[in-house]
Structure 1
Amino acid sequence: MIRAMAVGDIKLKDWLAFYKRNLSIFVSRIDNWDSCFYNRHFQSGFDIAVVISLTMVLIVMVGSLIGMSLPFIFRKMRLDPATASAPLITSVADIVGVLIYFSIASWYLDL
């Protein structure tokens, strides 16, 4: 993303198209969906499975959004987009991921 911005292949107006493409790449499939819910080895296995599944899907989508958006945000602020490199993106995505997980868990499990 950063290299494409640097050489002029990507503009800010292309952001939505690239985000849609990244979401279409993310495909998840759970085999034997029914067995996840009816074969309970742990108490509240179904509830935990729902929380983890929702969290994983949202974290991948938000992580993709963050990874694509930070270089554009930095360029808009007239900063070098390369400074929005892997450590910064990973740190922001991890913090947001933990917040997403705890938010979904507290909402779904009524904590």
Structure 2
Amino acid sequence: MVALVFFLPLLIDSGGNAGSQSATLVVRPPATGDVGPRDWISMLSKEFSVALFLGLTMALAVSAFGAFRAGTDVALVVSLTMVTIVMVGSVIGMLLPFILDKMKLDPASASAPLITTICDGVGVLIYFNIANSLLEIPGAA
């Protein structure tokens, strides 16, 4: 379905943007000494909550556009994908700095290009898997 490709840049960019934002917010407090390793769980839960709210808000907006552009089936796919991609992107953005820190690497090096690249690849897989599950696409296996 050509209509699915129309939404692809919006969806995958949203995941990368959410991941980059989460990484920035997670990396800064430990670097300034505002939080210690014990505070990571509360930071992660706060970021997870923000990502959920952001994903739902963005899904509402994109579902209206999806319904107008391609119908309610595509709107459902696009909105579910938006929530999922923003959540996954945020989790990747939150966890990557911690993983790099554990590997004794600079957590700030988990900057936008690395996170965005990972989120873009994962986002495409998420999008087309959701679409394949919910839509009857001719020729899809």
- What range is the shorter-chain TM-score in? 0.7 to 0.9
TM-score normalised by length of structure 1:
0.76
Q: Which of 13-22 and 49-58 deviates more?
A: 13-22
Establish whether residue 80 from structure 1 lines up as the match of residue 80 from structure 2.
no
Does residue 27 of structure 2 align to residue 2 of structure 1?
Answer: yes
Q: CA deviation at 1:10?
A: 3.5
> In structure 1, what is the Cα distance between the partners aligned to 2:27 and 2:68?
45
* Structure holding more helix per residue: 2
Q: Within 2, Cα distance between the matches of 1:40 and 1:81? A: 42
Deviations 1:68-108 (A, max 9, x none): 11100000111111110111111111111111101111111
Single out whichever of 13-22 and 71-80 deviates more from structure 2: 13-22
Structure 2 unaligned blocks of 5 or more: 1-25
Structure 1 pair 47/17, CA: closer, same or farther in 2 (3 Å)? same
Give the match for residue 15 of structure 1: 40
Checking the alignment, whether the CA contact within 8 Å between 1:74 and 1:81 is kept in structure 2 is yes
User: Which structure 1 residue ranges, 4+ long, deviate > 6 Å from structure 2?
Assistant: none
Is 1:50 matched with 2:76? yes
Deviation for aligned residue 1:18: 2.0
What is the distance in 1 between the residues matched to 2:76 and 2:113? 30
C-alpha distance after superposition, 1:20-54 (max 9, x if no partner): 212332423538x9xx6xx7774xx2211111010
Q: Which residue of 1 aligns with 2:135?
A: 109
Give the aligned residue type for 2:101. Answer: R
- The number of residue pairs the alignment matches comes to 104
Question: Structure 2-normalised TM-score?
Answer: 0.62
The structure-2 alpha-carbon separation of the partners of 1:64 and 1:7, relative to structure 1 and needing over 3 Å to count, comes to same
Change (3 A) 1:97 1:13: farther
Computed over aligned residues only, the root mean square deviation of the Cα atoms, in angstroms, reads: 2.5
CA–CA distance in structure 1, aligned partners of residues 69 and 117 of structure 2: 34
| 1:61 partner letter | M
Indicate how the Cα distance of structure 1 residues 93 and 40 shifts in structure 2: closer, same or farther if over 3 A, else same.
Answer: closer
Matched-pair identity in %: 51
